[in-house]
Amino acid sequence: MGIELKNRVVVVTGASAGIGAALTQALAAKGAKVVLAARNVERLGEVAERSGGTCAIAVGDVTVREDVHQILATAFAHFGHVDVWINNAGQGISRSLEELTDEDVDAMMQVNLKSALYGMQAVLPHFKSRGSGVLVNVSSMLSRMPLAPQRSAYSAAKAALNALAEGLRAELAQSHPGLRVMTVLPGIVATGFGDHARHGGEDSRALPGGQTPEEVAAAIVRGLEQGEEDCYTRPEGVAPVLGYLERLAAARG
């Protein structure tokens, strides 16, 4: 069950750069009313201006539960309701498993899992009261395939996010069938993700085969419109995951 985006109110976290900024522009181009959420008010203002659409800015840190509720309150204050909530904020890490500290693991879980949990828990009562709404969690192909060992803690956090989303989807199918949960699975994206990873890392824009943020945003918009549950941002994205699972099955006889 897809959704027409014109005049829909969409909250996007991590909207000041990368996928979030591109997604804001793609949604605005479809006629959506976008609530941009992040910590940097100046960058949010620049993104909102570039979008050319109807936007509201919500400054907050999504790793803080109270800030997430304030983002929702900002959406209500400007538009009265929310139709789509997109948990896009996240951060990578560059550190082997042996080097991981408690602080590293806690940071990965806080930024990539708990921030999305806060968003889901904040907006769910509103969606349930309306009988409709779409929750979107931007995960990663690394949650399905261990392609980057130095990002194992990041992969683990995103895999946990997938599990939360899948559990919620099953729960809502029974109690609130008008609500949808969509998981987005990008691969390499040409953004500052690598530069901004915990402990630094290679610039994702220099890696071969990366998608542009605009390509990823277009895939998310298409997933919303077509009612996808798992949204692989590359059409060929499912095949390597299935191949990986088949190899695991074969190894077990």
Which residues, in sequence order, are CB contacts of 130 under 8 Å at separation 6+? 81
Determine which helix (DSSP H) or strand (DSSP E) holds 105, and give its type and residue range: helix 102-109
Q: Which residues of 11-44 are buried (b: 16+ CB within 10 A; e: fewer)?
A: bbbbbbbbbbbbbbbbbbebebbbbbbbeeeebb
Mean pLDDT of 212-241: 93
Report the mean per-residue pLDDT for the chain: 94
Determine which helix (DSSP H) or strand (DSSP E) holds 37, and give its type and residue range: strand 33-38
The whole-number pLDDT of residue 201 equals: 74
The whole-number pLDDT of residue 9 equals: 98
In the chain, % of residues over pLDDT 90:
81
Q: Cβ–Cβ contacts within 10 Å for residue 196, how many? A: 16
CB 19 within 8 A of CB 38: no
In the chain, % of residues over pLDDT 70:
97
Look at residue 141 and give its three-state secondary structure: helix
Q: Which residues are catalytic?
A: 154
Write down all domains in the chain, each with its CATH number in brackets. 9-251 (3.40.50.720)
148-180: per-residue pLDDT in tens?
999 999 999 999 999 999 999 999 999 999 999
The whole-number pLDDT of residue 194 equals: 79
Look at residue 134 and give its three-state secondary structure: strand
CA distance 88 to 15: 8
CA distance 67 to 61: 6
Order of strands across the sheet that contains 54-59: 54-59, 33-38, 9-13, 84-87, 133-138, 179-185, 230-232
